[in-house]
A and B are shown apart, each in its own frame.
Chain A
């Protein structure tokens, strides 16, 4: 247990569906992240939030929409996804942005788009 939880753990959705991924951290951290992990590729940073403000959006398509209602919760809303969006989506948190401290990861949501 890393103190970061994600739900659901597995999700299968059609290209016309709308779904949301949820992340919660119990570590009192101020920064939260969404990553995409595809097989044999580096982790791709999607979004970064610091104190509930989005500070980074790495050219992610608009069909992915993040939401951070407070410093403990992070959502990723999904809409009209493509099959190439199938991947493991990881949430992480850290004490702050400009610090050397490591990031703590949740177990991920395995997403399959059919």
Chain B
């Protein structure tokens, strides 16, 4: 079967750095996405990786290793507004998105 694993919850301090990991086992691979979802709101797109390596976008970076079936989302200079759930999703060989259950990130002052 297809599976995406990510931690259920993480806590970090304002101003610090946090890394949210995602491992996947899917039928084929056509890219990995990270989304942010604030409570009661729509998921919003953060990043997309299809080749191995690091993609940087401001305070957020996403890394991919296809051989290991592994990705992480790195958030720097954490702000209170970064408190949200972070969803990892992989497009399989049929271009369907397979979703993880999300990681709830709690930022403390």
Contact = CB atoms under 8 A, between A and B. Distances in A.
**Is the contact region of chain A dominated by helix, strand, or loop, or is it mixed?**
loop
A105 B48 CA distance: 16
Interface string A44-59: 0100100000001000
Q: Size band of the A side of the interface?
A: 20 to 34
Contacts, number: 47
A87 B52 CA distance: 36
Nearest to B91: A100
Interface stretch (B11-19, B66-74, B93-101): B93-101
Interface string B76-101: 00000000000101010001111111
B101 A102 contact: no
Contacts of B63: none
B42 A90 contact: yes
A48 B101 CA distance: 20
Q: Size band of the B side of the interface?
A: 20 to 34
Given A40-B8, A42-B100, A99 B42 contact: no
Nearest to A35: B99
Nearest to B8: A40
Contacts of A106: 42
B31 interface: yes
Given A42-B4, A100-B31, A100-B91, A107 B99 contact: no
A97 B15 CA distance: 39
Interface in B8-65: 8, 30-31, 33, 40-45, 48, 50
Contacts of A90: 42-43
Contact of B101 (A2, A42, A105): A42
